[in-house]
Amino acid sequence: RVLSVVPEVPYANYVQNFVVKPREEVLAYMKARVGPEGIVVFEKEEIPHQSPGTLHQESLDVSCAVTGYTSSRITLTVQSNSAGYLVLSEVFYPGWKAVVNGRKGDVLRGNYLFRVIPLEKGNHEVTLYFVSWPFRVGGVISIVTLVVPRAGFGFSEDGGMMRNAEMVFKGRGGE
C-alpha cells in the first residue's frame, strides 16, 4: 500500500505569533492544532525575544527565498513588514549558528525540533552555518600530536620515546 504525503509544512515559514509550553506538552499542543502556519511553539527552556502572544497585529507581508544550500551552510533572503520568527523545516542541532545582516543571530528550537531565527521587520540576509566542536577539538589534538614530538618533548633522534623513558628510569635508581 502506498500513501501519498501532502507537503503541509513549508521549508521556510515566517510567523508573528508564538506560545511557550512545557516540553512534555509541546507535541500534544501541536497535534491539536489544525496546521503549523502562523505560530511557533517554544519550550519553556527556550527564551523568545518578545513577550508571549502576538508580535504584530497588522496583516503580514513577507517574502522568503533560499539563495544557497549545502549540508553545512544555508543562505536566505527575508523581507517582512513585521518582527517575527523564521521557522525552517530543518532539524535543530547544537552547533548551528546564524548571521543576520552581518551580525550574530540566534538559532532557537521551536515546534519541538525545528530551527527558528528571530528577526526584526525589514530586509534580511540570513546565513546559517554549522560549527562542529568535536571536529575542531579533534583537529587541535591532531595538530598537537604532530607538533609536540617534533619539538622534542619525550623523544630523541637516536631512540625515540622508549629510550628516553629508560634513561629517566635508570636515573632514578632503576636497573
The pLDDT of residue 52:
41
Check residue 16 and give its pLDDT. 87
Q: Quickly list H helices, 33-172.
A: 133-150, 160-171
Residue type, 158: D
- Cβ-Cβ contacts under 8 Å for 73 (sequence gap 6 or more): 127, 128, 129, 130
Residue 40 has φ and ψ, to the nearest 5°, of -125, 140
What global pTM score does this model have? Answer: 0.69
Q: What are 30-78's pLDDT values in tens digits?
A: 888 755 567 888 887 666 555 444 455 668 889 999 999 999 999 999 9
Whole-angstrom distance, CA of residue 11 vs CA of residue 81? 20
How much is the pLDDT for 51? 47
Would you state the pLDDT for residue 28? 87
pLDDT tens track, the chain, 175 positions: 665 555 566 788 899 888 888 888 888 888 887 555 678 888 876 665 554 444 556 688 899 999 999 999 999 999 999 899 999 999 999 899 999 999 999 999 998 889 999 999 999 999 999 997 666 667 677 777 776 666 555 555 554 555 554 555 555 555 5
Burial letters for 141-159: b for 16+ Cβ neighbours within 10 Å, e otherwise? eeeeeeeeeeeeeeeeeee
